[in-house]
Amino acid sequence: MPACSSPSRRRARPRAALLTGVLGSVAALLVTGAGPAVAAPPSPDKPIRSGQAWMGAGTRIEQGPASGADGGLTAMDTSGVQGIDVSHWQGAINWGSVKAAGIDFAYMKATEGTSFKDSSFNANYTNSYHAGLIRGAYHFARPNVSNGATQANYFASNGGGWSRDGRTLPGVLDIEHNPYGAMCYGLSTTQMRTWVNDFYTAYKARTSRDVVIYTTASWWNTCTGNWTGMSAKSPLWVAHWGTASPFVPSGFPTWTIWQYTATGRVSGVSGDVDRNKFNGSMTRLQALANNTA
């Protein structure tokens, strides 16, 4: 993939005001909506507390504005099989309304590092299932605090497991720009490759499933050194906003899930939410859940 020269930036999370232009700004401290008021996440120029990260908390080099609606780049791609990803930052969610709005799958944060559990995971995981969505869990990686196998086992023991019920997707390794410090968590490309492979191996031993990798082309190409070692093992969930076609990290043939905006709107969720598209039909999504893909 060709390198992109867009400047680095960090997005504001759901419940904060929409980003305006490439620089963006945070205009609210509290967000209200369905359920009780929820404190807005930290603004882009302030550090977040350990354990409070989410999908996309890190800097994105290749991204422009968080959505086509903000930057006028492209319309959001709401065709095909649609999903969302959430964490405690979304507060209370009406999953029945989410399903009625045409959302077929959802991932929710379960764990981070070796000791943090998302406070909304149990409610999101259970209620999305009962509303009829296909759902799964993700782990926010902290390669600087332990080896990959330790975090994979922590994830598998705290929400990241899998069962062949037709409604549970394989777990996700969310590995991206470090929102707490150095982009690559202080690891060399060789060390990072080992870390990712150890996470994959331990997770598969625990669950029998290949872990899905969520990342950006910029992070993966930089921090793993354009590694091709996971392309035949893990489905790719690529994050790239405000574009008609996402950049795919080196070595991966294509994307399985594409996070195309950070400022989507869905009935049943207050404020902004990440929107995602599955690369295939509903039958193929069910096959991924059943491990028959």
pLDDT of residue 282: 96
Place of tokens 């059943």: 290
Range of the domain at 85: 30-290
DSSP class of residue 287 equals H
8 domain residue, yes or no? no
Question: Which one from 62, 70, 77, 85 is the annotated catalytic residue?
Answer: 85
| Mean pLDDT per 10-residue segment, the chain (293 residues) | 35 37 29 40 56 77 44 59 96 98 98 96 98 98 97 97 95 95 96 98 97 96 96 95 88 94 93 95 96 81
68 domain residue, yes or no? yes
78 domain residue, yes or no? yes
Question: Which one from 174, 210, 272, 274 is the annotated catalytic residue?
Answer: 174
pLDDT of residue 114: 97
pLDDT of residue 293: 67
Confidence (pTM): 0.82
16 domain residue, yes or no? no
- What's the total number of domains in the chain? 1
Q: How far is CA 258 from CA 71, 82, 85, 238, in A?
A: 19, 10, 11, 5
Alpha helices in 140-188 (DSSP H): 148-157
> Does the annotation mark 85 as catalytic?
yes
Question: Which one from 118, 176, 210, 272 is the annotated catalytic residue?
Answer: 176
Could you tell me if 41 and 68 are in contact, meaning their C-beta atoms sit under 8 angstroms apart?
Answer: no
From CA 15, how far away is CA 43, in angstroms rounded? 11
Place of tokens 């070595």: 251
4 domain residue, yes or no? no
11 domain residue, yes or no? no
210 domain residue, yes or no? yes
> Does the annotation mark 112 as catalytic?
no
From CA 97, how far away is CA 223, in angstroms rounded? 39
Q: Tell me, what CATH number does 183's domain have?
A: 3.20.20.80
Which secondary structure element, helix H or strand E, spans residue 263, and what is its range?
A: strand 257-264
13 domain residue, yes or no? no
Q: How far is CA 191 from the centre of its chain?
A: 23
> Does the annotation mark 62 as catalytic?
no
